Each structure stands twice: as C-alpha cells, then as structure tokens.
Amino acid sequence: MFAILAERSLGPRLYGVFPQGRLEEYIPSRRLVTSELSVPEISSEIAQKLARFHMMEMPFNKEPVWLFKTMEKYMTEISTISFTKADLVEKFEKLKSFHLNEEMQSLKLLLESTPSPVVFCHNDVQEGNILLLSSRSSHPSDKLMLIDFEYSSYNYRGFDIGNHFCEWVYNYHHDEWPFYKAQLSDYPTREQQLHFFRSYLMESCPELGEDERCVQEAAMVLEVNRFALSSHFFWGLWSILQAKMSTIEFGYLDYALSRFDAYFQQKPLWS
C-alpha cells in the first residue's frame, strides 16, 4: 500500500524496502496541531487531499467490512480483559454499563439506513497524520500531505470525514494526566462542515452545478455526522484495549469514556 501511495504522490517517495522496514523520502515539514484543523484554508486543503485519496482505485478487497469487523473483534477481546487497580476497575465498570454490544447493534442499524459511498479511506485523518510542508510546493493549496496509512482500507466515506471532524475535539499534546484535552464545543459547526464539503465536492465532482452541489452538501451533513458516531465508538473500544495492552503513559480509559460521552451526546441529534 505504501509503495502505491508513494507512486501516486499521495505519500512520501519510497526509495527501498528491507526485511525490518523501508527507506522513504525525508520531507521538511511539521505535523499540524489540533487548533489548525479549523483554519478555513487548511480545512479546504484537507478536504481536497481526502477527496483525491477517496478517488483512488486500490488492489484490495472493496467490501466495506473493515469498520464493524474490527469493532466486533475489539468487543470480543474486551470481553476477556479485567483490571485490578481500583480506579481502572471503576472506569471499566462504567464503560460496561453502557451495554456496548447492544449499542453497537443499534449503531449498525442506523448506519445501514444511511447512504454513504464506499471509497478507499485513510481512516485516521487526525492532526498528527497531516504534514504541513516547508518547501515542497509554492502553490498555496498544495502545502499538506497525509501520512500513516496503517488503518487505510475500503470503507464508508462518511466514516473517514466524520472521524476527521471528531479529531477537531481532541488535543493529544497535553502535558498533564490524562495527556489529552477534549472540547466537544470545537466539533465543526454546520457552516464549517459545509465549507469542508464544498471543497471536497469541487475536487471529487468538479462537473456538478451549484444547485446539485448544494443538494449533495446537505445530504453529506446527515451522512457524515451519523458516521462520526461510529468514530467515537471505534476509538472508544480501541482505547479500552490500549488501557490493558499499551505501555504508553496515557489515560486510555478516560479517553474511552470521553469518546462514549460524546457518542451519547451526539447520537440523539442524528438518529
């Protein structure tokens, strides 16, 4: 996958592969920070880059099974774990009180009734996976690059965009426990979403007239915000597992609770 993306100029150039890794292009750049995701010019270019990503034909399974297959796997693994520290036990019990198996089936039914094109998705377009290039191009709308494709697969467009919108909320560069900050009020407004959709559609469907583009933008509001719920659910489950397995100092169960709190706050708005 990395070689194909490099060949299509959607990732760093690939110079070679060896048994324990690969040699790739060094790109003078820095990663974005969360507050930059809402800058209109940056948001527009992220939309354009994501549209180009979605337009690719890749030699992989095109059935959109990744999302729920992965969540079902996570649910099975979660059913086998436990914690011994009192504070972790308390948080884990609260998470289990959400009846996540039943809630996941409810979410699945909601998304099955929500039209969303199946495209090749990045699946993790957060600020740390977007480079701001130092000198690659003088063109003002070509200064970003998506990186880190470990979760990429064919999936629903709504998930990829909705997941990105959720990342407006979370700042992972916080120096104190739990080493992130969440501000649900930073989730993009309708106007900010429409700004993103407009740039996305102008890249992916430049032939659309103004009226048809407005119709599609309005439809994407429902599509993307419903699939954003699955982003909260997915990364909430992932974080529960990380609390058991990861050696990184991070408040994984706190983060899982934050994602599910956001899920339950936003679900009534879009059901």
The Cα–Cα gap between 258 and 170 comes to 10
Q: Any idea how long the chain is?
A: 271
Q: Are 160 and 121 in contact (CB under 8 A)?
A: yes
Whether residue 79 lies inside any domain: the answer is yes
Expressed as residue numbers, the domain containing 232 is: 28-270
What is the C-alpha to C-alpha distance for residues 42 and 32, in angstroms, rounded to an integer? 10
What is the reported pLDDT for 6? 64
Structure tokens at 115: 């039209």
**Which whole-number Å values give the CA distances from 141 to 54, 138, 156, 203, 238, in the listed order?**
18, 9, 26, 12, 34
pLDDT score of 11 more than 80: no
More confident residue, 191 or 134: 191
Residue 81 has phi, psi (to 5 degrees) of -105, 160
Asked if residue 9 belongs to a domain, the reply is: no
Confirm whether 226 is domain-assigned: yes
Q: How many domains does the chain have?
A: 1
What pLDDT digit, counting tens, does each position of 220-237 carry? 999 999 999 999 999 999
Q: Is residue 13 part of a domain?
A: no
What is the secondary structure of 168-237 as a DSSP string? TSEE---SSTTS-EE-GGGSPPHHHHHHHHHHHHHHH-TT--HHHHHHHHHHHHHHHHHHHHHHHHHHHH
Tens of pLDDT, residue by residue over 98-120, are: 999 999 999 999 999 999 999 99
Instruction: Classify residue 14: in a domain, yes or no.
Output: no
Give yes or no for a contact between 220 and 165, defined as CB atoms under 8 angstroms apart: no
Does residue 255 belong to any structural domain of this protein? yes
Tell whether the model's pLDDT for residue 141 goes beyond 80. Answer: no
Q: Name the nearest CA neighbour of 127 among 74, 177, 175, 180.
A: 180
CATH number of the domain residue 120 falls in: 3.90.1200.10
